[in-house]
A = this chain, B = another copy of it.
Amino acid sequence: MEAGLDQEVGKKGRITIHDVAAVAGVSISTASKALNDTGRMGEETRERVKRIAREIGFRPNALARGLLSKRSFTIGLLTNDTYGRFTLPVMAGISEALVDHGVSVFLCAIEDDPALGQIHVDAMLDKQVDGIIASGKRLDRSLPVDLSNLPVPVVYAFTEGTPDSVTFRSDDAQGAGLAVEWLMKLGRRRIAHITGPESFFSVRERAGAYREIAGDTEPVMYGVWSESWGHEAVAKIWGRNGEKPDAVFCGNDQIARGAIDALRECGIRVPEDVSVVGFDNWEIMAEQTRPPLTSVDMGLKALGREAGLTVLALAEGRPVEAGVRKLPCHLVVRQSA
């Protein structure tokens, strides 16, 4: 009954459960039940079917399975973050959380093109994704595509979501608090804050926390997210008369990088004379800075993990409370502070 085997199996196309059933000499339904540990049958039969399936390398066709179960074990990740600086860690977290559940992820980079976004959303829906995670590069902007009233659950991660949805974001105020408290614990008292454009929600949150803890010793320096702004801001501060800061808390790692360069050019030592803390913990940047940069990590991987588990829960019909969830940042101490 088990004769033939390899020669007979998979003659045309992939190996199906029909092949398993044929080789095992049972019906298709029995084979299915054996493999899924459902139904009633002799333990011996079940084991034999399983063994044969293993031997001939049977793997169930997810398309057929999905057609029936209405679960494709597939989700879509939509992002407008071209460089993937924020999205990649989020993606890593999602993937890590979902791979155990057999879920794969479609990554769709849509730039800021609404038409492209719509195309990708349609393609994902056609492919019956179990859910969609929307991600981005900014907490206070939403993707250029309408995700309300979709037939699948949508979760937002590091991008602005609709009020009645589940949204995950970093707790930037808490993260800024971590940085400033660390500087104060180091004995620093005059802490400057050089950051990005005030139009960014994150910037206002971080600056708010900074002011609350550090007091109004220094005016917040708003600018742009670039090294050159960090450089320029330091030049401005140290060009002024009066007492100089003994620490700089920067709005991101690029600004911090520029600031450190400027300080070195002024002959100021980091961290001996001035401590510097960055934000984002963009490792490839933070580790290469001289000295390596102490920075606030937004925990994007954990954020992705949570988003992944949440969209899965929604897809399985488990109830999830709507609202914004702030996930904590943590401080990665290197040598600049």
Query: What is the interface of chain A, defined by CB distance below 8 A to chain B?
Result: 13-14, 59-64, 66-67, 70, 72-74, 76, 82-85, 88, 91-92, 95, 99, 102, 104-109, 116, 119-120, 122-128, 151, 226-228, 231, 254, 261, 283-284, 288, 290
Could you say how many copies of this chain the assembly holds? 2
Question: A125 touching B67 by the CB < 8 A rule?
Answer: no
Bound Cα distance A64, B65 (Å):
10
Residues of B within 8 A of A125 (CB): 59
Bound Cα distance A60, B67 (Å):
12
Starting from the known contacts A14-B151, A227-B288, 14 additional A-B residue pairs (CB-CB under 8 Å) come to A60-B126, A62-B126, A62-B127, A64-B67, A73-B127, A83-B284, A84-B88, A99-B123, A104-B106, A104-B124, A105-B106, A106-B106, A228-B290, A254-B288
Residues of B within 8 A of A119 (CB): 99
Question: B109 touching A104 by the CB < 8 A rule?
Answer: no
The listed residue (B82, B95, B127) touching A74 by CB distance below 8 A is B127
Bound Cα distance A53, B107 (Å):
28
Q: Nearest-CB distance from A228 to chain B (Å)?
A: 7
Q: Nearest-CB distance from A251 to chain B (Å)?
A: 15
Question: B59 touching A63 by the CB < 8 A rule?
Answer: no
Bound Cα distance A74, B73 (Å):
14
Q: Nearest-CB distance from A111 to chain B (Å)?
A: 9
Residues of B within 8 A of A106 (CB): 74, 104-107
Q: Nearest-CB distance from A99 to chain B (Å)?
A: 6
Residues of B within 8 A of A227 (CB): 288, 290
User: Given A67-B63, A88-B83, A288-B227 in contact, is the A108-B104 Cβ separation under 8 Å?
Assistant: yes
The listed residue (B67, B88, B123) touching A61 by CB distance below 8 A is B67
Question: B62 touching A128 by the CB < 8 A rule?
Answer: yes
Q: Nearest-CB distance from A24 to chain B (Å)?
A: 21
What are 5 inter-chain pairs, A to B, with CB distance below 8 A? A60-B126, A91-B109, A92-B109, A226-B288, A227-B290
Residues of B within 8 A of A72 (CB): 63, 127
Bound Cα distance A254, B261 (Å):
15
The listed residue (B61, B95, B151) touching A109 by CB distance below 8 A is B95
